[in-house]
Amino acid sequence: MLQSLHDKMGLRTSPTIFFGSILFAAVFIALTLAFPTTMSTTFSKGSGWIIANLGWFYILGVTVFLIYLVVTALSRFGRIRLSPHDEPPEHSFLTWFAMLFAAGIGTILMFWGVAEPVNHFANPPMADVEGSSVEAAREAMSFTLYHFGLHTWTIFALPSLAFAYFIYQRNLPPRVSSLFHPLLGDEGIHGPVGKAIDIIAIVGTLFGVAVSIALGTLQINAGLSAVLGIDQTTWSIIAILGVVTLLALGSVIAGLEKGIKVLSNANILAAVVLMLFVLVSGPTLHLLRGTIEGAGLYAQNLPYLAFWNDAFDDNPGWQDGWTIFYWAWTITWSPFVGIFIARISQGRTIREFVFGVLAAPVSFSIIWYGIFGFASFDIIRNGENGGELVEAVAGENGDAATALFEFLAHFPLTTFMSVFSIVIVAIFFVTSMDSASLVMDSMARGHDEDERVPVYQRAVWALLVGIIAAVLLTASPDAGITALSEFITIVGLPFFVMGYLMMWALNRAMREDAGELLPLATKQWRKVLPPEEVERRRDEGDEAWATTEVEYDPHYSTSDGQVIAAPETAAYERHDLIEPDEPHPADQVVGSSRLNGSTDGKDI
């Protein structure tokens, strides 16, 4: 039935994963709208139990992931190049940084750049210092950078590295199930277990991005209210989401090079202009000194905060509503960011990949929060009507969505810069929806060859994200967003479990593949496609060879022109070096292990 519907719609994907993900999302939305109180109560109890009993597991998990990444990058495995045949990186460092930043937490920086430091400044997390004091400012910066520094990017970097390795080194499909190939095997990743993993990953991405889009919509609406006096209404929310979704659809149709890449470069430049405006217009010397001091505070307090569990608070503590939710929320859409970063990172070594993904965005985050955070502190402590900023953001009726615009009211060119900020937020959300759509479609279909895929198939995901955000914000805003947030906290649990399995699988694969010779040589693997895609190509008369099982490519060319051959044994215990003009041993192989090959290994 699903296959018949799939074919009638002209799709080119996995029917089970595609329709299963959409059905799961539709059922959740329908139940939330039909029974908001029941759903809210159910997810509240579930998330409450997880936070109370397993919050420590979330805190420990991200720290363990960070340690694993650093150790792996510094080990001999750090020399492995994440590309099939030692190709150089596809994108320059600046373009690479702009794309991964815009698709990662660019939206979060715009939303929380002022709101987070002000909240912690007014209400210190550890409740051990007086609010709005110098000590509170130091604590606020430490926690803000903890939340949006190394730990957040670790949640993105671990699946990104695993995706890059299994996609480019082992030629497996760009799906979460592929990361568990050493555990599940060929049949497992294509079977019910693998499909269930992929459906959970896509659903988590849908809901995680929907929360971001919903928050961004509220921030854009707050900006329009400050500039044009447009109040938040059902129609204003629908209009904002409609415009953002249409722009995302246009970017999806344009593709990676003309869509996401162009928008990302423009957006990061615009964000830098906004940051420099605050730096120059504000107390410049104080902000520069504060940014440097903030980096020192972060480095000083990170070892303690990385393991802090609010253990001396007998009641549910501050951390439950902040750190644990952040980690659970972030990890649910880490598959989307992970595959996207892997896709734009082909050709980089593991060491370059890990330190690039961790160091570059974190450095920018330190500067961003240093400037916006210390500028906020200065307004509150020394500016006129500084208390209004605290009241608007962290007061009894405070709203984080208004924080940036309340902040800009204390600077020159308020109206212009507010409009400029609205545009930045909108483009950040367009790139997030665009890249999420691209990745969810890749996960559903199981391959990256976009030219074979109808454009409207990719557009479905951007449209669905926009619809979910609109329904949650307009039909039942309080129950909907609350239920979704609590749902994500619950979904985050299996993602953390998968994170530990991911480390084991990646380490197992690298140990299996890595040789002992220098430069470090790694085995090469034939391209793997989902079974339905292989059958589809055979029906189309495509002679290109493809497999549903991981099979070792018996020879391949290295970057220095040498041809490396491995004996046709199960253990693959050694590599033989063959001169390029000598007959290749693999040419003598007959049977299924030698199909459509060539002596340079590039036609396979």
- Domains of the chain in start order, with CATH, are 2-507 (1.20.1740), 522-604 (no CATH)
Residue type for 33, please?
L
Backbone angles phi, psi at 564, to 5 degrees: -105, 130
Contact 593, 551 (CB under 8 A): yes
Residue 54 Cα to chain centre, angstroms: 23
Residue 145 Cα to chain centre, angstroms: 18
User: Is residue 53 packed enough to be buried (19+ CB in 10 Å), middle (13-18) or exposed (0-12)?
Assistant: exposed
**For 390-422, how does the pLDDT look when each residue is reduced to its tens digit (9 = 90+)?**
888 887 777 788 889 999 999 999 999 999 998
> Mean of the per-residue pLDDT values for the chain?
79
Helix (H) or strand (E) holding 437: helix 414-445
Contact 302, 152 (CB under 8 A): no
State the pLDDT at residue 554. 57
Interacting residues of 540 by C-beta distance below 8 A, sequence separation 6+: none
Which one, of 128, 58, 39, lies nearest residue 322 by Cα? 58
What CA–CA distance (Å, rounded) separates 165 from 11? 28
Tokens of 222: 């707050």
**For 492-532, how does the pLDDT look when each residue is reduced to its tens digit (9 = 90+)?**
888 899 999 999 999 988 888 875 333 445 566 667 777 77
**For 294-314, how does the pLDDT look when each residue is reduced to its tens digit (9 = 90+)?**
999 999 999 999 999 887 765
Which one, of 481, 503, 408, lies nearest residue 179 by Cα? 503
**For 143-190, how does the pLDDT look when each residue is reduced to its tens digit (9 = 90+)?**
999 999 999 999 999 999 999 999 888 888 888 999 998 888 888 888
Terminal-to-terminal C-alpha distance of the chain? 35
Residue linked to tokens 């960070």: 66
User: Is residue 527 packed enough to be buried (19+ CB in 10 Å), middle (13-18) or exposed (0-12)?
Assistant: middle
Q: Is the pLDDT of residue 376 over 90?
A: yes
Confidence of residue 555 (pLDDT cuts 50, 70, 90): low
User: Is residue 145 packed enough to be buried (19+ CB in 10 Å), middle (13-18) or exposed (0-12)?
Assistant: buried
b/e per residue 192-222 (b: at least 16 CB within 10 A)? eebbebbbbbbbbbbbbbbbbbbbbbbbbbb
Residue linked to tokens 């003598």: 588
Residue type for 341, please?
I
Interacting residues of 523 by C-beta distance below 8 A, sequence separation 6+: 512, 513, 515, 552, 553, 566, 572
Which one, of 15, 11, 12, lies nearest residue 3 by Cα? 15
Interacting residues of 335 by C-beta distance below 8 A, sequence separation 6+: 159, 176, 201, 202, 204, 205, 439, 443
Q: Which of 105-119, 348-362, 364-378 has the lowest mean pLDDT?
A: 105-119
List C-alpha distances in Å: 36 to 13, 235, 307, 389, 492.
33, 22, 36, 33, 21
Contact 540, 452 (CB under 8 A): no
Tokens of 13: 């994907």
Q: Is the pLDDT of residue 226 over 90?
A: no
Q: Which of 124-138, 249-263, 395-409 has the lowest mean pLDDT?
A: 249-263
The total of other beta-carbon atoms located within 10 Å of residue 304's CB is: 10
State the pLDDT at residue 548. 63
Q: Is the pLDDT of residue 293 over 90?
A: yes
This prediction has a pTM of 0.80
**For 63-81, how does the pLDDT look when each residue is reduced to its tens digit (9 = 90+)?**
999 999 999 999 999 989 9
Which one, of 129, 152, 220, 144, lies nearest residue 373 by Cα? 144
- In degrees, rounded to 5, the angle at the alpha carbon of residue 214 between the alpha carbons of residues 211 and 217 is 150
Higher-scoring residue by pLDDT: 215, 124: 124
- Mean pLDDT (whole number) for 559-563: 42
